Amino acid sequence: MQRILGVAGFKSVSLEPVDLQLDIGSGKGLDEAVANSREIGPASRALKGQSPEIIAKAEASLRAALTPLVQDGKVLLGAAIWIVTTRNG
């Protein structure tokens, strides 16, 4: 990343990793987390055009996988982002 930005003319490139907990239920609990997991990301692509029976089984699997992650009404997944700062020229 630093090399790419340097070649593009940016100077003083700084990368800062930030680890965080992401609530995939958006504060609305397990049901919302299951719905969000089914509607976005890899699960949405895998379930596109599938039968209602397959979708129901997938939802049950998502619920089973996410249930242990529920804390105080939130469904928290570990996440990471990078903060990139630089100056041009």
Per-residue pLDDT tens for 47-82?
A: 999 999 999 999 999 999 999 999 999 999 999 999
- Name the DSSP class of 14: E
pTM for the complete prediction?
0.72
Total number of domains constituting the chain: 1
Please say whether the beta carbons of 41 and 77 come within 8 A: no
Rounded distance between C-alpha atoms, residue 38 and residue 26, angstroms:
14
Which residue range(s) make up the domain with 12? Answer: 2-88
Nearest to 15 by CA among 79, 80, 84: 84
